[in-house]
Chains A and B, each alone.
Chain A
């Protein structure tokens, strides 16, 4: 028994000693705040989604800002899953000072009061609506207030392989303008091996496939004059006649070549940002893509012959002066709870100077969000067709993600519906009706929650 007590006593002491030593070691040798910020400056933390080449470009801009003045020091942190991390940091009351989000995050974050409204600050720092392309400002606003500032943007256009056009007897300087022309081009560019039917018939190359790379399954109705959301009435409009026409057109490809054949063909296509990119590899002759595709072309197939044009539209809505195309953008926001909103805004304003935003856009291989690009920007851009993207951004018919906080759910519904339509499991009209019903239920639910919160705030007031 005595021996046991003796053992216990020694173990206890040893354990306390080890714990004490560990604590001391942690205190002496443990993590320290980074000392890369010069003393006496206000330090701002900036969280961004960009890594690699895009991250380095933003880091250079941050470095220029840090060198341009001696009052504020910005620290750039690149991270994956920034949407979730920002959400948790803001909810936990310990957000960074600046966050680089996707534009579709704005409605949800703004409605939740998670962002600092920038109307007054932006005006004070000289950020004005008229300085930006027409479609950009709506991306940054929600319920008539400004919640973010664009960092980079890109419009989506038709990239086509000029060599394949020539080989198919098509004029590479005359890209298709209407859907009918596009279908004819597609027919001539598509190569089917193994005869006209029966066993062994397979697609060796397609002119175009709507699901490659499949990032925006929801946009095809826009090329027929449709939209997905009526913000004024808070209504989902997926089942409009224009959208039904758009998705009947999508289904016509599956009917022509066989849904199974197209799905099988696509499963053999490589990763987008690699040498196996379907467009670069010549498996697909035309793709609907942003200006950043040129980064991949330059890296893996620098001599590739390609050209860019606005994506074709249904003949009834064609207007050469007002092309239709998606404008996607990244935004800089100041989260609720930051201690230095003015300093954060000063940095954001710095990024918006023409020379800075154009340099960042150039290094990201994107078009500029400004109302007018400088001649130097257009001439020195790595994408020789950036003017096409620029023209789409300036067009009054450039469209953006539906501006509702339920968009992530709506998009999930759309992706599932698109897969049914693509497999010809459901007619376009029925699938879109179902998507619209579900999206509307989500919108109604969000409205109910909004009202409940408003009432609660009213009662408290």
Chain B
């Protein structure tokens, strides 16, 4: 044994807890340097006037009070709320339906599964550029379809019209539905077959089996995905930043975009930090509410 020569006293000199800490130290250092310390600093900066190029000055809760009188803050809050309110349920339903369809034993199902997941691998900038052309009011494929197939005479100018820009982004959010689909699919395949068989014996068709058997069984996974999707929606940034720059007339100006503008365009890092903490608070509250509501709706498997 290689260690046979070591004295027991030497081994005792380093307590196991310290050895453990040493082994996780890369993660701990990363956590402290890139998460805990920046968060603590951000909390402090939220109480300061900090233009980034000058030292921060403590102003107490002024940044938080300013939010109460900031019309743009209210606007981005409402825009983000509407976006999340439509994207989360729509994304969840569509992902569940696709997962349900992909769970069938049909030929070429692997190909369909890959096809659904592939869009999530496409860089978001490339996707945004493609969707900008799809939504183009004059030449876009969607409007060409509406004109020539559906027979619409005045299709919407999706990204150019204040009333349609936000719905267009909600529709586009479905483009990356592949990730939840994969998770739902895995969960659906984990549903015990005997439950389906029992339901079939009771005379249930495929739709009712999905609704009454599969869905309750995978409800913890649904909860997980809804929470993740809600957080993602509240942090939406890249797609509207590229596709609409927040327009027209701030119709697609979302919370994180406003935060970014304050930090780097207006050099109001203090106010941006306060916005970030309010955003965190909103997400925490929403997540808490979802967990509370889920107590009655989510199926808890016994150990």
Contacts and interface: CB of A to CB of B under 8 A. Distances in A.
A325 B149 CA distance: 48
A192 interface: no
Nearest to A108: B267
Given A267-B136, A453-B57, A87 B52 contact: yes
Secondary structure of the A contact surface, majority rule? helix
Contacts of A28: none
Contacts of A260: 157, 161
B57 A263 contact: no
A387 interface: no
Contacts, number: 85
A267 B157 contact: yes
Interface of A: 5-6, 9, 83-84, 87-88, 90-91, 108-109, 112-114, 199-200, 260, 263-268, 405-406, 408-409, 412, 415-416, 419-420, 423, 425, 438, 449, 452-453, 456
A420 B153 contact: no
A143 to B, nearest CB: 15
- 3 shortest A-B CB distances, which residue pairs? A268-B138, A112-B53, A267-B137
A199 B153 contact: yes
A408 B137 contact: no
B160 A416 contact: no
Interface in B26-85: 49, 51-54, 57, 59, 71
B247 interface: yes
A114 B248 CA distance: 34
A425 B139 CA distance: 25
A112 B248 contact: no
A113 B157 CA distance: 46
B10 to A, nearest CB: 14
B255 to A, nearest CB: 16
A419 B249 contact: yes
Contact of A268 (B1, B136, B247, B266): B136
Contacts of B137: 263-264, 267-268
Interface string B118-157: 0000000000000000001111100000000000010001
A438 B71 CA distance: 10
Nearest to A115: B53
A419 B247 contact: yes
A453 B59 CA distance: 11
29 contacts: A87-B52, A87-B264, A88-B52, A109-B53, A112-B52, A112-B54, A113-B54, A200-B153, A260-B157, A260-B161, A263-B137, A263-B160, A263-B161, A264-B160, A267-B136, A267-B138, A267-B139, A267-B160, A268-B136, A268-B138, A268-B139, A408-B265, A412-B261, A419-B162, A419-B249, A423-B162, A423-B249, A438-B71, A452-B57
B3 interface: yes
Interface string B261-302: 100111100000000000000000000000000000000000
Contacts of B3: 5, 9
A268 B267 CA distance: 35
B250 interface: yes
B247 A114 contact: no
Given A267-B136, A453-B54, A416 B247 contact: yes
Contacts of B267: 87, 108, 112, 405
A103 to B, nearest CB: 16
B53 A416 contact: no
A373 B1 CA distance: 86
Contacts of A438: 71
B52 A265 contact: no
A431 to B, nearest CB: 10
A268 B140 CA distance: 8
B106 interface: no
A9 B2 CA distance: 9
A293 B152 CA distance: 38
B248 A449 contact: no
B157 A264 contact: yes
A406 B51 CA distance: 12
Contacts of A415: 247
Contact of A263 (B153, B157, B264): B157
A259 to B, nearest CB: 10
Contact of B250 (A91, A409, A416, A423): A416
A87 B247 CA distance: 26
A267 B157 CA distance: 8
Contacts of A91: 52-53
B176 interface: no
B248 A423 contact: yes
A452 B53 CA distance: 16
